[in-house]
Structure 1
C-alpha cells in the first residue's frame, strides 16, 4: 500500500525567512501559505510529487533532518558549488571538514549535507546502482568506485 513518503514538516523560527530560503535559495515552489496560522507548504519536484511543510515555532525550536533526492551526477559535479554559491556550508556525514559527497556503502547512496538557517539538517542523496557493502561503512565516492569493483 505505501508507495513512498509524500510530505514532511519542519519547524522554523521565522516563516517568511524560511519561505524565502526554500523558494529563492533552493528553488522549491510555494504551494500554499496559510494566512490564518504560521504555516506554509512547498512543492518538492515536479507534478506535486512531494511536499515540505514549514511551521513557525518561536520558542523551543526542534530541528530535524530530511533528504532531497537528486541525480548522482548533480551531487558529484554541482552540489558543492551550488551550496557554496548560495552561502551554505556543505559537509559530509562524518563532519570531518571535507566538503565532498560520501557514500553510505550499506545502501549504497551518495550524499552531501547542509543546514537551513534554523539548523535543520538537509541532505542531497542519490541511490547508487549495485548491491550495498555494509562492511565498508561511509567512504568517499572514489573509494566506493575502487572497492565496489573488487
Structure 2
C-alpha cells in the first residue's frame, strides 16, 4: 500500500524568505503559493516526485528535521563546498565541529546536515550498499570504507 513519502510540511517564520531560500539557494521549484493563507508548496526532484509544504507561523515556531536524497558522490565531493558557497554551515551528526559527512552504520547511509534560516535541520543523505552494522554506531566515511 505505501510506496514512499510524497510530501512533508514545515513551519517557517517568513513565507517569502523561505520560498527564496528553498528555490534560489537549494534549487527547489515553486509549485503553488496559496493566496488565501500563508502556505506554499515546492517540488523536490523532477516530474513532481516529492513536495515540501511551507507554512508561515509567526509564533511558537517548531523547527523540524527532514532529509533530501542525494548521491553518495555528491555528498562526498560537493555537499560541504556547495553549502559553504551558499553561506550555510555544514555539520555532521555528532556536531563535533567537523563538516565532513558521517555514516550511520545501522542503515548504512552517508549524511551531512545544515539548517534553514528558521532552524529546521536539513540533511543530504544517501543509502550505501551493503548490510548495516548497528554495533558500529556513527563513524566517518573513511572508517566505514576500511571496514568494507
TM range (shorter): over 0.9
Secondary structure at 1:23's aligned position in 2? helix
| TM-score normalised to structure 2 length | 0.99
The answer as to 2:3 corresponding to 1:3 is yes
Alignment of 1:45-124 (within 5 A): 45-124=45-124
Shift in Å at residue 75 of structure 1? 0.2
Q: Hey, which bits of structure 1, 4+ residues long, moved more than 3 A?
A: none
Per-residue CA deviation, residues 16-52 of structure 1 (Å, 9 max, x unaligned), is 0000000000000000000110000000001100000
Distance in 1 between the 2:86 and 2:103 partners?
24
Secondary structure at 1:103's aligned position in 2? strand
Distance in 2 between the 1:90 and 1:35 partners?
34
Unaligned runs of at least 5 residues, structure 1? none
Distance in 1 between the 2:30 and 2:116 partners?
17
Secondary structure at 1:125's aligned position in 2? strand
Secondary structure at 1:40's aligned position in 2? strand
* RMSD after superposition: 0.4
Distance in 2 between the 1:4 and 1:95 partners?
29
Per-residue CA deviation, residues 75-103 of structure 1 (Å, 9 max, x unaligned), is 00000000000000000000000000000
Secondary structure at 1:110's aligned position in 2? strand
Distance in 2 between the 1:145 and 1:68 partners?
23
Distance in 2 between the 1:93 and 1:31 partners?
31
The answer as to 2:108 corresponding to 1:129 is no
